[in-house]
Every structure is written in C-alpha cells, then in structure tokens.
C-alpha cells in the first residue's frame, strides 16, 4: 500500500499540471506500473477539455506494454461515451490485471467503471489517498453535488484585518511575491468576480499579468448599474458576465444576468452558463454578503506585517453571540512569502 500511495501522489501531481486548462472536466493523472520490476512504465494526464483522458495518454505512452500490469489513476475510469470512449473499456482491452483508484466518480453519468473492471476480472483497489484526491477535484465535486461553481474568496489584509486605510487607500498592503502568487491563483480559476464598489474605487483590469497564463472570465456584480462602460474591466473582448438590473445594449462578448436578490439562484445560473470555479476579489460589502449567504467554499487570506488601526475591514456586519456559531475554517495551510503570510482554509469540504 505504501508504494501505491507514492504512485498515487505522482498521479495527483501530474493531474495538477492541467490547472486552468481542462474546465469543466476533473483533474486526472494516470500511471502504468510494472509490479514485478517495481518500475513505472509510463504516465499521462488529462491535458485539456475535449482531449484524451489521462488513462488513454498513459496507455498510449506505454507502447503496448500493459498486459498484466497495474494502472494507477486518481479518479475512477469513466464508463460512458462522452467526447471520448469509456476509459474502462480501454483498460480491459489493454490487458491490465489491476487498477488502483483514489476516489470513485461522483458523476452518475460517468461512474461505474470500477464495477465494469471487476466484472472483467481486473482487481480493483480504491480509496488510496482519497482525501488528497477529493481536495484536488474540489471544483468538480462542488459542481456535481450542488450544480454551482466552486467559490474561493481572496483578500489581502493587515495584522488587524484591514483591507484599506480609512480614506480607502490600499496599494500595496502585501509584498511583490504575494501579488505574483495572486496572479497564479487567478489563472487556476475559470472566472474572477468583483463588485461595483471595488471596481469604481480601483478600476482594476482583473486579468493575469504572467507570461503563458490565461486570464479568467470576468464576472461583474453591479446590480445598481453604477460602472461606466469605459472602465478597464470592459476593455477587451474576453468573455464578460455582467450582473445587473437592466438590459443595456452591449457588445456581444458581454452577457447580462438580472439579479433577483437571491445568491443561490445567481450562482446556479452562473453554473448553467458554464462557470465551474470563481475567485472573488472584492471589498468588505460583497465579501460579507457572500459569507452571510453561505456562498464561499474557501478563503485565501494574505497577511502583511502592518497595523492600520482605523480602516476598512475584511468583513462587517456579523454579530455572533457564541464562539461556536462563528465561521470556522478547516484544513488550514500556511505559506510564508518573505515577510507576508498566506493562510488558506476551507469553509466547506467536498
């Protein structure tokens, strides 16, 4: 089992290489392993939506050396015809004797591959590094379970939880290393979402300023129609989703959603429009609204060694009476970035 865990970790690391490229599909890596020689024959991962699955790439890279071998994959091989044929059928056809899986597929349409392999006489071991595999595919799991995009809230604060001085100045709270990391984060999410208050104050571009990294779809929350159309967020032809309360005459790349005051309906509508993951970069008001409406799954808080005293808070309007009733993050990860810290935690796990 120790060997399988090491190999599964390699699968997960492989799968991560597709971040930002394979929406709405899950991240999957696969390894063909020779148990007798104790060596990896080949590997592969699902590189991009619509292209070959991880198992197909790993088997192709094995150059026919698959008979009586073991295939390790972090997600149950699919059993249905989608854009590609079932991977479970290819595994059977390739003569594997064993398949090691991290987690079963929560998508009922695609699941059943493990049972199909067992029916064909292939030994199946599942649950190897399942927690790690589920965390890797948190977007996919949220999508399947709730039919909503995964939502991560990012903020940059001082030690005393301020996101700006009292006069609104906020550039720059964090250091250059932290800001570069934020651009990498943006590239891993399909969409970035901000609200009118932040956009009117900062006039951000909400893009990725790193070489060979793709900028996310921009989602603009402007229910009172305050943002002028010459602002930076509208200044190119990438896809934009504008959430407002009117029907403006806009360019073709800008889609409009009418906001009815219900955030659950809003995020379900965004999922219907193909949005699977969203990074929030907004101010206190919008942050608080999303948290109060239970729409945030994860928080990335960058903390600089500064104290503002008076200033704008990260969130406002919460009046908890008991500590047990407060918002409590779990699965905490802490990363140091020179003199800044990043605290990552989940509010909801899948």
CATH code for residues 143-346:
3.40.430.10
Q: Which residues pair with 99 in a beta bridge?
A: 71, 124
Start-end ranges of CATH 3.40.430.10 in the chain? 143-346
Give the pair of three-digit tokens for residue 18. Answer: 């597709």
- Which of 35, 36, 55, 176 is an active site residue? 55
Q: 323 is written with which tokens?
A: 């500590």
The CATH number of domain 2-136 is 3.90.1170.10: no
CATH 3.40.140.10 in the chain is located at 2-136
Output the tens digit of pLDDT for each of the chain's 350 residues.
Answer: 899 999 999 999 999 998 777 778 899 999 999 999 999 999 999 998 888 999 999 999 999 999 999 999 999 998 866 667 789 999 999 999 999 999 999 988 778 899 999 999 999 999 999 999 999 999 999 999 999 999 999 999 999 999 999 888 888 899 999 999 999 999 999 999 999 999 998 888 888 887 778 889 999 999 988 998 889 988 877 899 999 887 677 787 889 999 999 999 999 999 999 999 999 999 999 999 999 999 999 999 999 999 999 999 999 988 889 998 899 999 999 999 999 999 999 999 88
Cα separation, 176 vs 167, in Å, equals: 23
Cis amide leading into 242 (omega within 30): no
| Strand 70-75 versus strand 39-45 pairing type | unpaired
55 an active-site residue? yes
Query: What is the token pair recorded at 318?
Result: 């919460």
Q: Are strands 162-164 and 254-258 parallel, antiparallel or unpaired?
A: unpaired
**Whether 126 contacts 115, CB under 8 Å:** no
Strand-pair partners of 155? 301
């Amino acid at each position: 089992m120790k060997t399988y865990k090491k190999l599964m970790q390699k699968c997960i690391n492989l799968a991560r290489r597709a971040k930002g490229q394979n929406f709405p599909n899950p991240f999957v890596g696969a390894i063909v392993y020779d148990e007798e020689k104790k060596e990896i024959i080949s590997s592969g991962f699902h590189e991009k939506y619509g292209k070959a699955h991880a198992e197909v790439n790993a088997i192709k890279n094995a150059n026919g050396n698959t008979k009586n071998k073991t295939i390790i994959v972090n997600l149950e091989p699919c059993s249905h015809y989608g854009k590609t044929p079932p991977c479970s059928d290819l595994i059977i056809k390739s003569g594997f004797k064993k398949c090691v899986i991290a987690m079963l597929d929560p998508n009922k349409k695609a699941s059943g591959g493990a049972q199909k392999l067992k029916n064909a006489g292939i030994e199946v071991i599942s649950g190897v590094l399942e927690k790690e595999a589920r965390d890797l595919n948190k977007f996919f799991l949220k999508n399947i379970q709730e039919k909503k995009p995964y939502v991560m809230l990012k903020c940059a604060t001082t030690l005393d939880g301020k996101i700006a001085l009292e006069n609104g100045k906020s550039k720059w709270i964090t250091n250059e290393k932290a800001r570069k990391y934020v651009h990498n984060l943006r590239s891993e999410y399909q969409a970035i979402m901000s609200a009118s208050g932040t956009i009117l104050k900062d006039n951000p571009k909400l893009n990725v300023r790193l070489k060979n990294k793709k900028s996310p779809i921009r989602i603009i929350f402007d229910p009172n129609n305050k943002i002028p159309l010459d602002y930076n967020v509208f200044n190119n032809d990438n896809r934009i989703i504008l959430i407002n309360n009117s029907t403006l005459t806009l360019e073709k790349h800008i889609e409009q959603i009418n906001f009815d005051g219900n955030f659950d309906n809003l995020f379900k509508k965004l999922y219907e429009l193909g949005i699977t993951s969203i990074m929030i970069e907004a101010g206190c008001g919008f942050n608080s609204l999303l948290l109060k409406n239970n729409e945030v799954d994860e928080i990335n808080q960058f903390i600089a060694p500064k104290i503002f005293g008076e200033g704008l808070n990260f969130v406002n309007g919460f009046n908890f009476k008991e500590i047990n009733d407060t918002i409590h993050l779990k699965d905490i990860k802490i990363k140091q970035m020179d003199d800044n810290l990043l605290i990552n935690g989940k509010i909801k796990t899948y």
